[in-house]
Structure 1
């Protein structure tokens, strides 16, 4: 007979899991004792939300299973935001969520809660182990769902269940089928007819095209089509791709937006881009996605096909005529070059005492390794990553684009560092995000995770300020009184640097990147940066002008002048 806790841990290891993130205690003590005796490493975080984010970072970047485990009540509840973020990223994570002993269940015992109601909204699988003989079977089902459906699977276990024993007689194991899905022949014929008749085509590639870059490039060459991409697709679309023209959306660039507007057909491949206002009219849109429920979910489409991007393109190419007119592609490339020059101009430093975040990010782009892994907090750091870092070599990028949480960057970097100990892992953290989960700086020292944390210290919730100003409001309740983060880092046993003058940035950044062990670079950046969309609407200008009038009346003339100089007159 075998203890249920030993069965659960062994099933996770057999499914490929290497690490479990969490905090020990009461209802998982028998589980963690089984972890201690196994090949599953325990990563002792200081806050469970960090554990959920770190597990998701590891799982997203590796494509393999990561695990986190929480005690009953508050312990498991603390995971919720990290689990939502990881699930929306499609990261294969198993959460072992524990509850009070079965003798107390349903009686309002302290820390009891209904785990299923909480987690079934952010999981691909959510089930109790109701009998010891189910232990391996339920865990295997959870792991298989996480790996094949892409998302979080939750196994709920009453604390006393771990102490039970089972024969563990049946050899349940995870299966990873590799299907190739493509549309029917008549659908492909109809699509080819539309594409052959179209004068101009723009391809729009999303995360569903990540394993189909060769096919995507072949299609672009066949159609003389530019390739715009979603923000999540940056790392694999941009490198070595002369058809790339950047992104669309609020964080995108002019070339991508104009290429979509000018196209007779926008062919969406593996993307479920959420912002309807950036799509063209219905007749222009053709969507290919492996999930039928995603077809036409964001905007009405003229044609929708169900299939994986790679196999669909392979079956389509032989049906297409070779286009020869490169006018549309050439125009898009020319605008993309102008967009890149504009980003470079944004990074130019005019005042050593006023450090622009774009300037900092361009320095990071130059000095970081070609195989560095970057994470960025939701908000302004996410924008600087997407616009000002170059996708080259084997660089990887991860930020909170679907869930949009703060404080994701350095926890996700922890998971990346655990999975890739030989790589340079860099967290681009906002000061708001850093202070939200700052306690796990101690984990970096204790777990020997040598990530490098760059803090964009602007003394404010900068992205929120931008939102308020664009709506014509005075920025309110966004001010942050921060410590010297380099000194906080040193107090936690890390190395730390502080930069207040642009002339000191290059040397400090080089030393920070070269430092052994975890290190923090605290850079005091301008607090009056606006994230400008690729196409500025009249209403946005009017609202920002209204903010300026209100700010002047509120005695903030100097700030308004700085805002105009740094964002509109540069």
Structure 2
């Protein structure tokens, strides 16, 4: 029986392992969604296509399997762009079916026509039109294979009238997923081992490229008596059960991680592109190991750049390096790490009668959440409190917008995780600005019965932007938010709404919120004056903050200045 392009694409997606498609129906994909209707795929009906891009990315990142989203031409496809950029930068294997106007209208300035290829080529590993019905299975297979093997978004563009066309479907195109064993040559490994053996102070810095290699990297750190610092994205698998862990470095990091890098003689950079070069070691030699050769020495100079999968490379290196005996470099870093943790604990334990410190809220969540919970967080301050105050257990997962730095990602990404892992506790740390940016898809939580728990850090402001302005010596402007009663709003949308009004009732409110069977929202008022403090405060930052204080006082905002100083510099 002859089948049309829609049916062929749907069958190919099923065979590639996809379980659901996120999107909004409409004219140019109506024949495609009709084919979905009679398939095993579940259509996830969102209210905004950006949410579909985020949700598919969250699903794919959590599972490592293909996730799919689809939308109409013009505005529909354009709405996907930010969610697709976020998912692509997370290397999540996502397939986007982007429809276009009918071929008879292409190139004539027809309403809603946009150049899909030019838009998506910059945020995809594959982007191609199905130009003939006979290509449908082949192009879709190539796209799925690219997304799964290269890590990232693949885009298949289909003209609306093409979905109805029938074509030959005789060859058995299928997705291949090879698992290569890639490591440096023996000569390069021997050279690296000699460099390590001849160096006293070695620090290991691990990034997302070490995902799946946590045990091996920790074993190498113990062999070398090396402090093990990590990027924010590597927290999930480097922090647990690791006696050499000294926390994060970078702008969201802690002092121990920063000092471990500053004080070393040799840094092994494993699976990280090291975005913030102000934290790059000034004196040490650097060896960078990455599966992508284009990243070697891309952002800062290195003494040796080696191509290899982190796990395979470290396994081969372990047998080549000698056990180091001097642990003074490691112990100095661990002592500072203990001090960093005590500082975090002190900040989290402080309470106000009316408003709570966000650190206190995050630490309460850490204590009450399941040991295998999945956490997402909005770009901005919720991300910081989650990374600093919620422990990785080895079973917990974390997904924050650390590469794209977007707002409004937390609960849409949590939706994707919850759909793929329905028996797991999925917790979204939302800013009040991020939540309200894509507020409409709270309705999707109810409609699709996704038991996501939303924790709203409600400080009435775009807090991270406000902090940036103050640190630059500016009087913060245009950052205030006039928020609704989020708990009541959630209830009006058909999901459970809870509110904590003081530190004294937070535990009870959070316990009740976590106990809800379905989706639920917890609104928590937190201190607006809280700064995200970097690992080390520079004199220029203090001076700029003081300049803000002087300007704010002249504007009649003395209470805010007193609160800022009390909560961040005088404790």
Per the alignment, residue 102 of structure 1 pairs with 103
Q: CA deviation at 1:393?
A: 4.3
C-alpha separation in 1, matches of 2:552 and 2:289:
47
C-alpha separation in 1, matches of 2:524 and 2:126:
42
Per the alignment, residue 393 of structure 2 pairs with 392
Correspondence 1:178-189 to 2 at 5 A:
178-189=179-190
Per the alignment, residue 70 of structure 1 pairs with 71
C-alpha separation in 2, matches of 1:221 and 1:391:
20
Per the alignment, residue 158 of structure 1 pairs with 159
Q: CA deviation at 1:318?
A: 2.1
C-alpha separation in 1, matches of 2:190 and 2:51:
49
Deviations 1:255-296 (CA, angstroms, capped at 9, x unpaired): 000000110011100111201110013752110011110001
Aligned residues: 570
Per the alignment, residue 545 of structure 1 pairs with 546
Q: CA deviation at 1:141?
A: 0.3
Whether 1:301 and 2:302 are equivalent positions in the alignment is yes
C-alpha separation in 2, matches of 1:272 and 1:338:
28
Per the alignment, residue 510 of structure 2 pairs with 509
Deviations 1:161-183 (CA, angstroms, capped at 9, x unpaired): 01001221000000000001111
Residue 176 of structure 2 aligns to a residue in which SS?
Answer: coil
Per the alignment, residue 377 of structure 1 pairs with 378
Per the alignment, residue 251 of structure 1 pairs with 252
- Indicate if the aligned counterparts of 2:467 and 2:532 stay in contact, CA closer than 8 A: yes
Per the alignment, residue 458 of structure 2 pairs with 457
Deviations 1:475-519 (CA, angstroms, capped at 9, x unpaired): 010000000000110000011012221111110000000012111
Residue 174 of structure 1 aligns to a residue in which SS?
Answer: coil
Whether 1:483 and 2:477 are equivalent positions in the alignment is no
Correspondence 1:157-556 to 2 at 5 A:
157-281=158-282, 283-556=284-557
Correspondence 1:74-153 to 2 at 5 A:
74-153=75-154
Residue 43 of structure 1 aligns to a residue in which SS?
Answer: strand
- Indicate if the aligned counterparts of 1:283 and 1:301 stay in contact, CA closer than 8 A: no
Correspondence 1:38-53 to 2 at 5 A:
38-53=39-54
Residue 103 of structure 1 aligns to a residue in which SS?
Answer: helix
- Indicate if the aligned counterparts of 2:21 and 2:41 stay in contact, CA closer than 8 A: yes
C-alpha separation in 1, matches of 2:344 and 2:364:
13
Q: CA deviation at 1:350?
A: 3.2
- Indicate if the aligned counterparts of 1:4 and 1:164 stay in contact, CA closer than 8 A: yes
C-alpha separation in 2, matches of 1:213 and 1:407:
30
Moved more, 159-168 or 281-290: 281-290
- Unaligned residue ranges in structure 2 (runs of 5+): none
C-alpha separation in 2, matches of 1:21 and 1:538:
48
Moved more, 141-150 or 329-338: 329-338
TM (norm. structure 2) is 0.99
- Indicate if the aligned counterparts of 1:282 and 1:301 stay in contact, CA closer than 8 A: no
C-alpha separation in 2, matches of 1:48 and 1:429:
19
C-alpha separation in 1, matches of 2:499 and 2:552:
31
Deviations 1:233-262 (CA, angstroms, capped at 9, x unpaired): 011111111111100011000000000011
Residue 104 of structure 2 aligns to a residue in which SS?
Answer: coil
C-alpha separation in 1, matches of 2:319 and 2:387:
35
C-alpha separation in 1, matches of 2:394 and 2:492:
36
Q: CA deviation at 1:143?
A: 0.3
Per the alignment, residue 38 of structure 2 pairs with 37
Q: CA deviation at 1:214?
A: 2.2
- Indicate if the aligned counterparts of 1:373 and 1:425 stay in contact, CA closer than 8 A: yes
- Indicate if the aligned counterparts of 1:376 and 1:399 stay in contact, CA closer than 8 A: yes
- Indicate if the aligned counterparts of 1:85 and 1:402 stay in contact, CA closer than 8 A: yes
Q: CA deviation at 1:331?
A: 1.1
- Indicate if the aligned counterparts of 2:262 and 2:282 stay in contact, CA closer than 8 A: no
Deviations 1:274-333 (CA, angstroms, capped at 9, x unpaired): 011100137521100111100011111111111111111122222212110011111111
C-alpha separation in 1, matches of 2:316 and 2:352:
56
Per the alignment, residue 558 of structure 2 pairs with 557
C-alpha separation in 2, matches of 1:494 and 1:315:
52
- Indicate if the aligned counterparts of 2:247 and 2:257 stay in contact, CA closer than 8 A: yes
C-alpha separation in 2, matches of 1:423 and 1:215:
27
- Indicate if the aligned counterparts of 2:267 and 2:284 stay in contact, CA closer than 8 A: no
C-alpha separation in 2, matches of 1:251 and 1:380:
10
- Indicate if the aligned counterparts of 1:208 and 1:269 stay in contact, CA closer than 8 A: yes
- Indicate if the aligned counterparts of 1:374 and 1:426 stay in contact, CA closer than 8 A: yes
Residue 531 of structure 1 aligns to a residue in which SS?
Answer: coil
Residue 555 of structure 1 aligns to a residue in which SS?
Answer: coil
C-alpha separation in 2, matches of 1:146 and 1:351:
48
C-alpha separation in 1, matches of 2:286 and 2:389:
29
Deviations 1:199-256 (CA, angstroms, capped at 9, x unpaired): 1000000111111122212211211111100000011111111111100011000000
Root-mean-square deviation (Å): 0.8
Deviations 1:390-414 (CA, angstroms, capped at 9, x unpaired): 1014101001000000000000000
Deviations 1:9-65 (CA, angstroms, capped at 9, x unpaired): 000010010110000010000110110111111000000000000000000010000
- Indicate if the aligned counterparts of 1:282 and 1:302 stay in contact, CA closer than 8 A: no
